[in-house]
Structure 1
């Protein structure tokens, strides 16, 4: 009888433990959901709209962590958001791309985007090495500047197995620089003496986030906005080869002379990047209702925002102090040089 009571008590304790873990899981996910909803509301205000919902989400997550702390019970749910919802959001983000539009725009757009990425990566990685910036952090800041801001950073962070604090620092750096850049373009537009198409190319080729591009292109009108988004999406499409190349480089570094053993599990690019490409192909070659595509893109943005909130909840502001000023300097110099490259790029239009 005593043994039976002990078994019942053991099962009861195990059930309570599982329920507690499940509740903690849900509380973590709900917290990231609430922060993403708040970020969406904040992003509706004029100035904050330039930053975008994803960047505001990570800032709110960090602010919550600093002011309220995080309980151990919610960590699994927060991790779920920052890991699995992130991957789902990146896959759905592929629906932004219509590959035929990029191909139809001619080689000039792809050539401009390729030059932007190669130039920016080489310059910023070289400068980071010169200043002894951590290789992973330097790579994330470079890819965020060269490709597509926060989305590129979090995608590549998974490929190179970067530390969470490096991902957050890189996202924050790109958010601030991109916002400043967008405002600078908006105020300087009357002085640039560029037609709408050329201004759109300049904005799409040199600014960080899609939100930055959309905001900065407004003064040039519809032609400028459409051109800027097209050029920017060309850079987004090039995230795939960039991730593959970086994955290969870091895989070789990690092996440190060990014999290479290639399999599906050791591909130097995570499967969600291939999912991103697959969604791009679906959107390009399979006719989907426009309302469905737009709805899934909104879901993508929201999932990425929850992931950013989860990432922010995992980071302390004190982590920024450890890295020093040098990574920020790399980001600033890289953006200035990319902007200076802009007039040269316009010669290819």
Structure 2
């Protein structure tokens, strides 16, 4: 083959590869988009509304992966959704956080949130060691339980060395199921609890995993319960920033000492979340813009959750066994008991 012909052949091969890669990217993103749309529709139905859009999305992704083939090239688009779109959704989620509202409720709420996170994480790391669950997986289930469910897991996973790509979907699925059970449990036991609506909301907001779980479980207590629950929950969400920085420093000590600041293993998108919170707190966004950004956040995170579901390898569940599930169950029970104790003491 002549040099000119070889160059032309190489150019054609390169062009063909780029087209296939682009097609796979679009296929994967389209699949996560469709699953997110379906999850959004299902979330409007009576029972499914308890689960929330993001939980439904990851369950749909898991179901699709278990029952149907995924085109090989679509992996790139699925990864893009589960990584970048999910992070974009987390950044936009900051628009729901208003520092003024948290301050108005008093510093007691932040104290409760801080104690909940510190005690739950410490307890679950200890129990995970006793159960011989891998430390990385233990930490992901712990932050999902203690802070803010899937968003915390996705933020912390890249900071942990080892099998974080395998562990993140397992942790998210565990938290999704246990959080849903917890929300249903609160709704059923609400009439039996001798709590006023505000106290009930604080208990829900300080102990349930996902924001969707908190919103659903607070409904029986009315507007007062819902408002206090969301504020307390968002207080836990904002603590994701310092927790992520501490974990990043602990797991990457050498990187923190030797690497330039822009290359540190810090989830920089969390600062985007924080910036959106600041903008919202000082009144930059109108009510219409805030509603648009909030709905966009939920949908982007739903696409990311669908991508995580599509990435789950069921062999990993078999390898992990029942011990991670036991860890999640014990942690979920512990955080509820701790929340009740703190309400009594504080």
* Band of TM-score, shorter chain: over 0.9
Q: Is the 8 A contact 2:100 2:281 kept in 1?
A: yes
Single out whichever of 53-62 and 154-163 deviates more from structure 2. Answer: 154-163
Q: Is the 8 A contact 2:219 2:226 kept in 1?
A: yes
Matched, 1:64 2:61: no
Write out per-residue CA displacement over residues 205-245 of structure 1, whole angstroms, 9 at most, x where no aligned residue. Answer: 11111111111111111111111111111101111111111
- Cα distance change of structure 1 residues 26 and 347 upon mapping to structure 2, 3 Å threshold: same
Aligned position for 2:202 = 201
- Pairs within 5 Å for 1:183-202: 183-202=184-203
Single out whichever of 132-141 and 157-166 deviates more from structure 2. Answer: 157-166
Aligned position for 2:154 = 154
Write out per-residue CA displacement over residues 53-112 of structure 1, whole angstroms, 9 at most, x where no aligned residue. Answer: 112212221222222222221111111111111221111111111111112211111011
Q: Is the 8 A contact 2:169 2:311 kept in 1?
A: no
Give the SS at the match of 2:266: coil
Q: Is the 8 A contact 2:170 2:312 kept in 1?
A: no
Distance 1:51 1:96 in 2: 20
- Cα distance change of structure 1 residues 331 and 6 upon mapping to structure 2, 3 Å threshold: closer
How many aligned positions are there?
A: 345
Distance 1:300 1:101 in 2: 21
Matched, 1:101 2:94: no
Write out per-residue CA displacement over residues 243-263 of structure 1, whole angstroms, 9 at most, x where no aligned residue. Answer: 1111111113xx4xx993142
Q: Is the 8 A contact 2:39 2:57 kept in 1?
A: yes
**What is the TM-score normalised by the length of structure 1?**
0.94
Displacement, 1:265? 3.4
Aligned position for 2:287 = 290
Displacement, 1:328? 1.0
Q: Is the 8 A contact 1:113 1:231 kept in 2?
A: yes
Displacement, 1:15? 2.0
Q: Which runs of 5+ in 2 are unaligned?
A: none
Q: Which runs of 5+ in 1 are unaligned?
A: none
Single out whichever of 156-165 and 318-327 deviates more from structure 2. Answer: 156-165
Distance 2:134 2:2 in 1: 60
Single out whichever of 55-64 and 141-150 deviates more from structure 2. Answer: 55-64
Q: Is the 8 A contact 1:96 1:297 kept in 2?
A: yes
